[in-house]
A and B are shown apart, each in its own frame.
Chain A
């Protein structure tokens, strides 16, 4: 039975949990510790979290590539375990850095091949492939063998592959990973236009890039250690930490285990590869406290090399919620 679209969300998970066996009997690894999500049709929804947070595991379960250990996941109203075939008819997956297709095929042949795996009719497949190639700027390379494409060109082709079936729900797993800035920006715009022009199409995006999530997503779930820590619009997430001053310090000689200064929690970044300095990020409710805090740091032997302040960003919200930045030490692996 086909669920009524109006009454069912595009994606829904309840207490979704996934545990992997550790390597060589090293116990269990909890990738998802019980995730509840509800994503409505027409949303661009972001899963934001550090490495090892459980983003890709969640995407794999929703794409019928993994069984959950417990809990429930439904895509377009269909259970991902019991109704996997129905789910697959409605979805497409693009993962950043993947190598789709075969080197001996041309770009157009590769996209055509994938359209056939999704049952796109012959009348539609050719024109759609051509339109997508134009959209990702690969028209002039349509007849080029894939093994002659640059990495960036291949990523664009892979990106286009996700759209050949005109999916109801598109999963983008770190889609701009390793792309140059311009290409990433163009592809983000492409996704947003695609969603805007097709009523009810849904995108679930996992990303490592704060700006990408901030720019693209209607709502964002911040995920860490297999749990959803917060879920709201980017603006609402920013508001949750608004007020005060966001300070970034470049410092030398940080004592081991430093996690707060004068009661202000800090996020300590990885050392700069050349300068050997660390970045300390913190938020002050009263900007006037900054000189006192700098003095406290110096008293602890920390040499402050640079100070900058800025507006509230999604990253600030992330740090406030998770307790560290995406690229900071302790982010897991």
Chain B
């Protein structure tokens, strides 16, 4: 066996040339995102479970509205909700559960000992998950446009892109925060997320106008970023037919606020988690 030469052979034990600070953050983030994107392309079964299956509920609602003779706008509501379901599933199970999986596989310890920011790793997971899900969500868009022939007309592609981005930042920042919560509480958090899945679907009005929930329901739903994102995107795509919950600028501002809040909470949760891990000697080992 030979030792590789040429790195620093014969040199004093100075640190090898490496990026630090913001460059290291971006480097680590892109590397972690890269894994997610590659993974989505190399595991075809995920396309079925993450792209096809989440759209079946959407198809059922579109067919139901069609059978009942509901206005065509209802079909568009369900398609927008169905597309966002793909992201929500990725946020809960791809982001929220990820650190727990990392711990189970022994990978978490390697992240904790690396010099890069843990937020860079989480951000990479979020960006990679978002890009991978973007491809999958296009399946829902394709079904809506080419199978059900829904009609939407965004009043501005820039506003549409901006609202989509704000929605994604809020959702994935929530996922980053949930990842620490899942890790902290382990299986209990897992069961809680499972238990909350259907209520969140319901309160987010993914397949019906949120106004149908009534005043109390709307108030409860208004604190969920998924609800606000769904409603805001519908307003951009469908105008008054979306039967919006709040004025679009208010929803956009709330989504931006959620994004900042959840990112801050994700950072604090990770710091707490790491300190707890060092203090109690758990979390970085599978058996602890």
A interface residues, Cβ below 8 angstroms from B: 5, 20-21, 41-42, 57, 60, 63-67, 85, 88-93, 95, 98-102, 104-105, 109, 112-114, 116-121, 124, 128, 131-132, 134-137, 145, 165-166, 168, 186-187, 189-190, 193-194, 197-202
Contacts and interface: CB of A to CB of B under 8 A. Distances in A.
A128 B4 contact: yes
A199 B42 CA distance: 42
A98 B11 CA distance: 31
Nearest to A101: B107
Q: Which 9 A-B pairs have the closest CB atoms?
A: A200-B13, A131-B4, A116-B31, A119-B18, A119-B19, A193-B3, A88-B115, A119-B24, A166-B16
Interface string B93-121: 00000000000011101111111100001
A136 B115 contact: no
B116 A119 contact: yes
B280 interface: yes
Query: Interface of chain A, helix or strand or loop or mixed?
Result: mixed
B133 to A, nearest CB: 16
B243 interface: no
B31 A117 contact: yes
Nearest to A123: B17
B281 interface: yes
Nearest to B4: A131
B1 A189 contact: yes
B115 A199 contact: no
Interface string B1-19: 1111111111111111111
B107 A99 contact: yes
11 contacts: A21-B280, A64-B278, A67-B278, A90-B15, A105-B38, A114-B114, A117-B115, A120-B18, A121-B18, A197-B3, A198-B8
Contact of A65 (B23, B38, B112): B112
B113 A88 contact: yes
B278 A166 contact: no
A105 B13 contact: no
Given A112-B31, A131-B6, A64 B1 contact: no
B25 to A, nearest CB: 9
Contacts of B7: 124, 128, 131, 166, 198
Contacts of B27: 116, 119
Given A93-B113, A116-B30, A5 B23 contact: no
B111 A117 contact: yes
B31 A113 contact: yes
A200 B12 contact: yes
Given A116-B30, A198-B11, A109 B38 contact: yes
Contact of A118 (B38, B112, B116): B116
B276 to A, nearest CB: 10
A41 B116 contact: no
A140 to B, nearest CB: 15
B136 interface: no
Contact of A119 (B12, B23, B43): B23
A89 B20 contact: yes
Contact of B116 (A102, A112, A117): A117
A198 B9 contact: yes
A82 to B, nearest CB: 13
A199 B39 contact: no
Given A134-B2, A190-B3, A197 B10 contact: yes
Nearest to B43: A104
Contacts of A198: 7-11, 13
B131 to A, nearest CB: 15
A104 B42 contact: yes
A135 B35 CA distance: 25
A132 B105 CA distance: 24
A199 B11 contact: yes
B115 A66 contact: no
Contacts of A190: 1, 3
Nearest to A131: B4
B28 interface: yes
A17 B210 CA distance: 58
A65 B16 contact: no
A89 B115 contact: yes
B241 to A, nearest CB: 42
Contacts of B34: 109, 113
